[in-house]
Amino acid sequence: MPVLVCGSLAFDTITTFHGRFAQQILPEQVHILNVSFLVPTLRREFGGCAGNIAYTLKALGGEPVVAAALGNDGGPYLRRLQDLGIDSSSVRVEAESYTAQAMIITDTDNNQITAFHPGAMQQAHLIDVPARDDLTLAIVAPDGREAMLRHAAQLHERGIPFVFDPGQGLPMFDGEALRGFIEQATWVAVNDYEGRMLCERTGESLEQLSRRPHLKGVIVTLGAQGCELWVQGERTLVPGVEAEQVVDPTGCGDAFRGGLLYGLERGWPLARCVELGNRMGALKIAQAGPQNHRVERIEG
């Protein structure tokens, strides 16, 4: 069944710094920070949370429906979605904006510094959750602030269960807004850093957050270490999957979420969904770019 993927579509400009940020940024001098990184390699990739999640979900055999905004330079991205067989009927094209752009520098420890221009993403709130009866699941991933609030509210009103995935958009929301998302969502997915920020802003621990009667799980990704599941106050650690090689972490979390959604749509136990998500993250990190990993379709 189709899965609605609400989030950003962006072009990623990805560069590599052949050193460590920690050796270049002096903590005692951050108040006068003026740092330049030599980045010998550069490439441009299709990215954005919605595009990345939909890519893995489609590759697994799912049916993503993307709700996102592109700018006046977004024609190649729209054609890519169509070529991949991804439903783009809810993609809005803004004639007066550029497509969102992410400029990413990765160091040898796989730490990243990102500058992000939202562009057309700032108009994503003008997209409605499509009025169709076959949508049984959705994800609200990082997007424009108003878009995330509006899409979560619309999904809740229509009784469509969804994953709340605040990602790098989390700092846009205060504790009250975050608690509102959690009250509407069926699952919450964050990485460990975002999990700590979520707890700080809501004033609740992960255990407390997970005890809400309507929540089926709080999912905390831990990179190579795997994933924590919090279900009604109980914590389970799902081990990670060792990658063949570590090439590029960009989009690993989105690949995880594509696997998670595939399992949720099929009614798998949450731990099995997360296991698949871990496998997708390990596949992705072995490839450069967020949408270049090869995935074998899964039946059942």
Neighbours of 5 (CB within 10 A): 33
- How far is residue 256 from each of residues 4, 39, 96, 273, 287, measured CA to CA in Å? 16, 28, 33, 9, 14
**For residues 214 and 194, what is the distance between their CA atoms, to the nearest angstrom?**
21
Query: Structure tokens of 92?
Result: 């809005």
> How many whole angstroms from its chain centre is CA 287?
17
Tell me the DSSP string of 77-108: HHHHHHHHT-EEEEEEE-TTSPPEEEEEEE-T
- For the chain, first and last CA: distance in Å? 13
How many residues are there in the chain? Answer: 300
Exposed/middle/buried for residue 192 (C-beta within 10 Å: 0-12, 13-18, 19+) = middle
**For residues 99 and 224, what is the distance between their CA atoms, to the nearest angstrom?**
32
- How far is residue 214 from each of residues 4, 150, 188, measured CA to CA in Å? 20, 20, 11
Residues known to be catalytic:
254
User: Which sign does the torsion angle of CA 66, 68, 72, 76 carry?
Assistant: negative
